[in-house]
Every structure is written in structure tokens, then in C-alpha cells.
Amino acid sequence: MERFELAVALVRQAGAALRQARLEADAVRCKTGHQDLVTVWDKKTEQFLRQGILNEFPADAIVGEEFPAAGDASPETVWYIDPIDGTTNFINQHRNYAVSVGCWQRGEPLFGLVLDVENDRLYHARAGQGAWCGERRIETSRRKNIPELLLFTPDVIRTFLEPGRDELLRLARDVRAVRSIGSVALEICAVACGEADLCVALRSCPWDHNAARVILTEAGGAVAAASGKPLPLNEPCAVLAAGSTEALELVLERYGRYEAPQQ
């Protein structure tokens, strides 16, 4: 089985299990604080995905949210896994959360998968083959006039209202509207399919965005660190995603550049 086919099968199985999941009172834990949560299902899902991948490709490496990196110490192929991107939504809403799996080889993307679990909507892209939602090919809106842009961010308060965010707050006032799903992967996919035009995520880890960034770029969009530098593959980073290179560069030029806050 090819890696892409395996990933699709595993992600769909994980999504089916999560749709049936119910949280008991003791199933939720705080990691760094009351807004940074993990559930037994985050751990179960990541274990399931890791085992399925390493059973077929034992020389590959896995970088996930809940467990230390696994696999070969000097791998050619690395998988980036977020078992539940949007854990708070999973806990409070049981919607607006995703399973995210990206695969890279020698530093270049092979594919990205993001499953909107409750809607059973699979965003996927293989390098050089376009981006898809299910069997429908998707493209970005290519809008670049600031007053026409819809901006998504996973955390409105931290993005716009913490001290030192004056330029980002000005951006929020200049765009058509600001919305928040609460999942970096789903918000970047919203840009990929033209339902949004920008995504700003000031606290994002490789497992949050490395699958969705493949989908976005294959859909015609652009992504960078919010500092304006290329988005690193293996480091936490403030992320700026846009429906086109022109829109990305315009935002950086008019509204400044930001380094990732301390995690």
C-alpha cells in the first residue's frame, strides 16, 4: 500500500471512531493550563495512527502532538500528526475539529490530509496534483483587495487583543470580517477552498499546519511565517496563510511582520 492510500484509510477509521466517541468526566486533562487541553481520545487516536503507519513503514519517523517523536533517527520520510486539531471544540461542541496528517520526504511535501471529522469532509492534496475536498477539486478565491477579505484565526483574543498587536488589530478592522473556527488545520483549508481569504495563527506547531499547508499551496494559495520568512518544517511558528502570493505579500507589507510568541 502506498503511503497516501494508507493515510486515507487510517484517517477515515480514526474519524469514524471519533464521531462515536463520548467523553466521561475524567477523560479531559489540562496540559499547560485550562485553555490547553488533552483528552483520552487525542492519545488513543495518535496511538492508532502511529501504529498503523509504523507497521507498514517502520523506517519512517512520526512527529505528533501527544507523544515523543518515533521511528528512524535519520529518516527520509516524516509524518506530522495532529490526532484532534481543535480539542476544545471536540470537548465543548463535538464539531469543528479535525484529524490532520502530513507526509514529507527529504524536506519536500508528499501529501497532506485534513479530515473535518463531524462533516466527514476530507481535504487532501498530493504534491503536483492539485487540492481536493472529497472528489471536488478546490481552489482559493484569489481575492486580494483588503476590504473584501474574510480573515480566520483560531484565537481572536491572543491574535488581536494582547499587547503589541496594534497592526494586526488594524488588519482586523480593515478586512470584511473576522471569523474563528478554533482549528488551525480547518482554517487553512477554508482558505484553500475559497471560503476564507486569510488565516493568521500566532501559535502553531508543525503538526497543526504541515498537512494543511500542502493542501493550500496545491489550491493556489501561499503560506509563510508571519515574520515573512519561509515557514519552517519542524519548529513552532506564527503562520500567515493567504489565497494568493499577492495577498500574502500585501498583508506583510501593510500590517507588519510577527515572530511566534513563546509557547
* Residues annotated catalytic, as ranges: 65, 82, 84-85, 87, 208
Longest Cα pair distance anywhere in the chain, in angstroms?
50
CB atoms within 10 A of CB 68: 7
Reduced to 3 states (helix: H, G, I; strand: E, B; else coil), residue 261 is: coil
The rounded distance, in Å, linking the Cα atoms of 172 and 192 is 20
State the amino acid at position 69 in one-letter form.
Answer: A
The rounded distance, in Å, linking the Cα atoms of 199 and 151 is 6
Reduced to 3 states (helix: H, G, I; strand: E, B; else coil), residue 262 is: coil
Angle at 78 between CA 211 and CA 159, to 5 degrees: 40
Element (H, E) at 252: helix 245-255
Of residues 227, 147, 233, 139, the one with CA closest to residue 191 = 139
C-alpha cell at 211: 498537512
